[in-house]
A and B are shown apart, each in its own frame.
Chain A
Amino acid sequence: MMEHSFLDKYSTLKSPIHSLNPKSKIIVLFLLLIISVSTKPTSFLAFGIYALVVFSLIALSKVPFKYVIKKSLVVIPFVVMVAIFIPFLKKDAVGGGISFGFGGADTISVSYSGLIIFFNILIKSYIGVLTVILLSSTTSFTKLLKGFEELKAPKFMIMLASFTYRYLFVLADEVIKMKRARDSRCFGGKWLWHAKTIGHMIGSLFLRSYERAERVYIAMISRGYEGEFNRIATPSMKAGDFAFITLLLTILLSTRILAA
């Protein structure tokens, strides 16, 4: 029972965005992120335009909105842990503070500069998450790797990534099976000392995966592996790709320059 697409779900749909060359998507979406994080926090209109661009691309790609929104919630824990209290820490209060009635020291108030910092990280991290989801749900992982390879990413890392990607599903499956076996034996681990059980699971997971890797390596050698994969060449950049890059960069750069 494998979840074959938990990294790049919906990457096999057919849409104008899916059929773009992976290189042009990587370039445009990476520049979108750079432009977004370098925009000053009070340029509300600029962030509106970036968000509009990302949402239009998502709409064009036919990837279900519900899936995108659900997946984008991954950013929440970090925001809650680090940023939620920022608006309350600065001194320049907007509106009246709420006092808890123990004198002045414990008054909680929302500050303008704190709110701006909070808005800044919230909008930038959310645009970042949406952009990456857009990239991974419109490009299959092998195509993405090919794109990075053609953009001169280190070959060793590309090789490593393609191996890892192949085994991810096998090992994730193994973890799901082990979890099921553990839970059916009444684990109920609610406390820190149950970490020992998890340690045993991870230990046997390591041994199983290491021995699998040894077997696979021997099998590969005996089938003529010489340290390289032969992959199907991806088509080169087409007119549509150049149009996509030009159009998007014109919108984004002019927004960024006008917002400065």
Chain B
Amino acid sequence: MHIPDGFLSGGINIAAFAASAAVCGYSIKKCGNDLGDKQVPLLGVTAAFIFAAQMLNFPVAGGTSGHFLGATLAAILMGPAATCLILALVLILQCLGFADGGLTALGSNIFNMGVVGGFGSYFIFIMLKKFLPDSRGRFMAAAAITSWVTVMLVTALVALELAVSGTSPFAVVFPAMLGVHAIIGVGEAIITTTVLSVIYASRPDLIATSGNI
């Protein structure tokens, strides 16, 4: 999912960079106001956690493997603004440290995974929770659906950006990428709900969006 240099057109990279910078600026302000100085170490450790969790690959099919994205989990645990910053940071570290994802495509990668992954999955989750009564099962169902939809949403966005840049035709890349990620999304949903139930069992106070389940 980490787009390297040269895959997207300059216009898309610049627009996505501007959008990401604006949303990250807003998120920095919001985190600074809401959470105080305690939050910097906590966010730092959560970012390191997402980074480490992404090291655990799970096999999908035919030799390909997927790893945990973590956007939905982070959004449910810490809210969208913190999630956006955490994912932006993870992407910056992966880009600079592992050369995973291009430096000129960094704005686009942050837009796809941080902005859309973080804020998108938060709003999907809140909407789903509105329509479902408060109970633990429904909470987990909402988390599972959100995880899957977020993976598909981010994938569709990447496919769209590649197509608009003229890199690969939409009709080919869209079904191919969505097909693989439909399975990766199931993995994401299983992991998100399992992690949530582990946290729920011992530290339910850490789930910001749990409400009164």
Contacts and interface: CB of A to CB of B under 8 A. Distances in A.
B212 to A, nearest CB: 22
A136 B97 CA distance: 6
Interface in B108-142: none
A85 B175 CA distance: 14
A100 interface: no
Interface in B136-192: 162, 166-169, 172-173, 176-177, 180, 183, 186-187, 190-192
Interface residues of B, number: 76
B82 to A, nearest CB: 10
Interface string A212-250: 111011001000001100000000000000000000000
Contact of A136 (B43, B99, B196, B202): B99
Contact of A82 (B162, B166, B191): B162
B4 A207 contact: no
Interface in B31-55: 31-32, 37-38, 40-49, 51-53, 55
A259 B164 CA distance: 25
Contact of A217 (B7, B42, B51, B100): B42
Given A166-B44, A192-B183, A33 B5 contact: yes
A72 B167 contact: no
A212 B77 CA distance: 17
Contacts of A127: 5-6
Nearest to A201: B56
16 contacts: A82-B177, A121-B4, A129-B99, A132-B99, A156-B32, A160-B40, A164-B45, A164-B89, A168-B93, A175-B53, A202-B68, A203-B199, A205-B49, A209-B46, A214-B42, A220-B41
Interface of B: 2-7, 10, 13, 24-25, 28, 31-32, 37-38, 40-49, 51-53, 55-56, 58-60, 68, 77, 85, 88-90, 92-93, 95-100, 102-104, 162, 166-169, 172-173, 176-177, 180, 183, 186-187, 190-199, 202-203, 206
Interface of A: 6-8, 30, 33-34, 36-38, 71-72, 74-75, 78-79, 81-83, 85-86, 89, 117, 120-125, 127-129, 131-133, 135-136, 141, 144, 154, 156-157, 159-168, 170-172, 174-175, 179, 189-196, 198-207, 209-210, 212-214, 216-217, 220, 226-227
